[in-house]
Structure formats: structure tokens, C-alpha cells
């Protein structure tokens, strides 16, 4: 099929590259000319395992091209995926200005039938506004359909998630749109959930909000575990074996971040308010997540006493491992809170250093975990990269001023750390 993807962020670039790998002709469009020029040189604007190889392979075989022209993308495609950003406004509502702008440009460029598909995460009823915007801006009376096809890609495993999905959700209003999307996704052999557009839009926000709630729940439980000397890891194991609950997203820690959970949760709360419903449960989920970061900083304060003038080594800047994404990263918030109390920060992340340098001032960026540890008053783990799980702990112990590790992701075994001579403080483990 002939496909255009408008937007080359984490979702757009992965989606376009994977569709090309399935044998489709794909043109990825972005108004950032510099980004497009870099992509034409096989320089990736994001870190995602496997994406560079995927782009190179499909550019070489001619199935994947890049352009800064929406008009070109519309002209060369039958299916148009909108995958532009929908960042949060100050009140939590999603900013849909890019969606509107793209919809206008698509309308003006259409000369034949197109299927326009929402891929960006958008509030319910966005589909009807996309349809309305295209109708009033299309001067030729060209036929078109609008559909919703929310993404469920996890940064760090996005390519595998696309190629091996647990479900595909399509919201459509016509048989023509349904048949096109069924044919497009046929090679993936995954269950396809067919709904109306509004239901598909809600499925995305409801899914991410539920997962965020699950994490906040276990983080709240971790505080109870600490108060009584229980082990939240064992509690999560005992809960997770129950098939009604499941073990995934029950890892207690310093809190969730990234481009999805904070944004989608806030947007769903705001959507509910506009529809006349006060979603208090989700407000509590959001509050617990913010509190978890403050409680983690308090652990550091309670252990070091005075933070002013102390050197704290921070391992991890991205919101999760296997990505360079620092949007709403707990690490960034923790560092800023520590700096506010006068602490000096040394830090290292395998992929997110360059992006972190754009938002952090007065921080020493190190070449590895050992440089971070050298001369620091304590070592703080905020992102659970495998690299940090496998460091030489005895070497770390020698480099630190005192053998103190405060672990916001529970990546080490408390008994082992005790035997190695560390003062090891973690989350919800007594």
C-alpha cells in the first residue's frame, strides 16, 4: 500500500519504518527540515534499539523515503497517518494545534480518496474535528474517511511491539475504511478490535491511565511496606501471580515518567472534567506519582542529613532504560530538587546525556558510572539500565566517599549489598 506518516518522532518513525518493512511504500513527512535532512543521511533523531538498521534497510530497497512536504506525502499516498505531537498545555489539556494544522494541509492537497488515520494520542471527539476541518478546507469535494488507530508502542521495545502486537485497535465509521486497515494489518496476524472512532480514542487514554494507576498503587503499597518492614517485591510477586492482576507494572520505584503516562493521565482528567465528571481516582494516581519523587529525595536527605555542599552521583537520566527520552523523567525532577537544596550533582546515562544537557544546568556529566561514583557522598539509581545492574560494585564501593547507595528502582539484592558492606537503601523493602 502507499502510506504517508506525518510526524517523525518516536511513534511516526517507528510506524513508518515498520510499515515499509512489511512491504508497503512509505513516505515519512516532517516540517522540521533539519531532521528530514539528517534522516536522509541515516542519522536518527531518537535512540530506539533497531531503528537505524530498519531505516537503512528500507531506504536502500526504496520502500521508505523522507520529505518536508505534506503536499508530497498526500499526493503519493492512499493512507495518511497523523503522528504529530500533542503536548500538554498548562492545564493538562492536550494541545491539538498541530493536528488541526496538518488536517488543513491534507485537505488542501487532496485530489482523490484518502483514508486519514489518527495515530497521535488525542482526546475523544478529535476524530469529528479532524473530519470537520478537512471538509471545510477541501475545495474539491474529494471523498475521504477518518479513522482512529491508537499506538501501543513502548519506547525501548517499539519495533517488537509494532511487529508483534497483542492487539490492534481501529476506530472506523465506514466499511471502506475498515477493509483498508484490515488489509494493511493482515501480515501481523494479530487480533483486531473494531470500534467506532470515539471508543478507539478512549481506549488509548483509558489503557495508559490504568497502567499508571497500577504503578502508583504499588508505589503507595511500598510506603506501607517500609513502615512495617515488609518487602514490596515479594508483595508484588504474591499479587501478580493472580491472573486477574498480573505481575507487569507492579515494580515499585521513584515514579513513572515519559511522554505517555503523565500527558495521557492529565489529558484524561481534563477530558472528564469537560464532560462533567470528576475523575478523582486519576487525580490520586497523579498525586501519588509526584509524592513518590519527593519521598525519594527525602530518603537522600534523611541519610545524608545536610545536602548543601554534598556531592551526589545520579545514575540514569532517561525516564526508562533503552531510550534517550527525558520527557517528564523522574531523574530530571529529582536532580532539580537536590540542586535546590545545594547538592552538587554528577551523573551518567548510556543514551540520554545530550538531551539532558539541554535542560540541566550546573551538573557534571560523566563518562561512566565509575566516574560518577568517584568522590561522591552517595550514589543514587533512578533509571534501571542493565549496564547499572552489572557494574563492579566492589569498585564502586572503593570510589565512593562512603559505601552508600540509594536505589530508586530496586535493581540490587539487599542481602548481597549488605554482605558487600554497603549501606543500601531502596524502595519498600523494610
Q: Which residues of 386-400 are buried (b: 16+ CB within 10 A; e: fewer)?
A: ebbeebebeebbebb
Q: Given the C-alpha cell 506525518, which residue does it identify?
A: 6
Q: Is 378 a catalytic residue?
A: no
Angle at 332 (CA atoms; ends 326, 337), nearest 5 degrees? 165
- Within a 13 Å sphere around the CA of 386, how many CA atoms are in the beta-carbon half? 3
- Nearest alpha carbon to residue 253 among 276, 224, 220: 220
CB of 366 closer than 8 Å to CB of 347: yes
For residue 324, give the C-alpha cell: 534517550
The active-site residue out of 18, 260, 366, 378 is: 260
DSSP 66-84: EES-HHHHHHT-SEEEE--
Phi/psi at 275 (5° precision): -90, 5
Handedness of CA 375, 307, 313, 299 (dihedral sign): positive
Rounded Cα–Cα distance for residues 261 and 62 (Å): 36
CA within 13 Å, CB half, 211: 15
For residue 125, with 0-12 CB atoms within 10 Å meaning exposed, 13-18 middle and 19 or more buried, which class applies? middle
Q: Catalytic site residues?
A: 260
Amino acid at each position: 500500500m502507499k502510506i504517508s506518516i506525518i510526524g517523525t518522532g518516536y511513534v511516526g518513525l517507528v510506524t513508518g519504518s515498520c510499515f515499509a518493512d512489511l512491504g508497503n511504500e512509505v513516505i515519512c513527512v516532517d516540517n522540521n527540515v533539519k531532521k528530514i535532512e539528517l534522516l536522509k543521511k541515516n542519522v536518527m533523531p531518537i535512540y530506539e534499539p533497531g531503528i537505524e538498521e530498519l531505516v537503512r534497510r528500507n531506504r536502500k530497497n526504496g520502500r521508505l523515503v523522507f520529505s518536508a512536504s505534506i503536499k508530497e506525502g498526500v499526493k503519493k499516498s492512499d493512507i495518511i497517518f497523523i503522528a504529530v505531537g500533542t503536548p500538554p498545555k498548562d492545564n493538562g489539556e492536550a494541545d491539538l494545534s498541530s493536528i488541526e494544522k496538518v488536517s488543513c494541509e491534507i485537505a488542501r492537497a487532496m485530489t482523490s480518496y484518502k483514508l486519514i488515520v489518527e495515530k497521535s494520542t488525542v482526546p475523544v471527539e478529535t476524530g469529528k474535528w479532524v473530519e470537520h476541518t478537512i471538509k471545510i478546507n477541501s475545495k474539491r469535494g474529494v471523498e475521504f474517511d477518518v479513522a482512529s488507530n491508537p499506538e501501543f508502542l513502548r519506547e525501548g521495545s517499539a519495533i517488537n511491539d509494532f511487529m508483534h502486537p497483542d492487539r490492534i485497535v481501529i476506530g472506523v465509521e465506514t466499511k471502506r475504511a475498515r477493509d483498508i486497515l484490515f488489509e494493511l494489518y493482515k501480515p501481523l496476524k494479530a487480533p483486531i478490535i473494531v470500534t467506532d472512532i470515539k471508543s478507539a480514542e478512549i481506549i488509548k487514554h483509558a489503557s495508559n491511565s490504568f497502567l499508571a494507576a497500577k504503578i502508583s498503587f504499588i508505589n503507595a503499597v511500598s510506603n506501607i511496606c517500609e513502615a512495617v518492614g515488609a518487602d514490596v517485591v515479594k508483595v508484588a510477586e504474591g499479587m501478580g501471580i493472580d491472573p486477574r492482576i498480573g505481575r507487569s507494572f507492579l515494580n515499585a520505584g521513584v515514579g513513572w515518567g515519559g511522554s505517555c503516562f503523565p500527558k495521557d493521565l492529565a489529558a484524561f482528567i481534563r477530558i472528564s472534567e469537560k464532560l462533567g465528571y470528576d475523575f478523582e481516582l486519576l487525580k490520586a494516581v497523579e498525586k501519588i506519582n509526584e509524592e513518590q519523587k519527593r519521598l525519594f529525595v527525602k530518603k537522600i536527605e534523611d541519610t545524608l542529613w545536610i545536602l548543601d555542599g554534598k556531592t551526589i552521583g545520579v545514575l540514569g537520566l532517561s525516564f526508562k532504560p533503552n531510550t534517550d527520552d527525558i520527557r517528564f523523567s523522574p531523574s530530571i525532577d529529582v536532580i532539580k530538587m537536590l540542586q535546590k537544596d545545594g547538592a552538587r550533582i554528577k551523573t551518567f546515562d548510556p543514551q540520554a546525556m545530550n538531551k539532558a544537557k539541554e535542560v540541566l544546568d550546573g551538573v557534571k556529566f560523566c563518562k561512566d558510572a565509575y566516574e560518577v561514583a568517584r568522590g561522591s557522598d552517595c550514589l543514587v539509581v533512578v533509571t534501571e539500565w542493565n549496564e547499572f545492574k552489572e557494574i563492579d560494585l566492589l569498585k564502586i564501593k572503593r570510589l565512593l566517599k562512603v559505601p552508600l547507595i540509594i536505589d530508586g528502582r530496586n535493581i540490587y539484592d539487599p542481602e548481597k549489598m549488605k554482605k558487600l558492606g554497603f549501606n543500601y537503601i531502596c524502595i519498600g523493602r523494610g
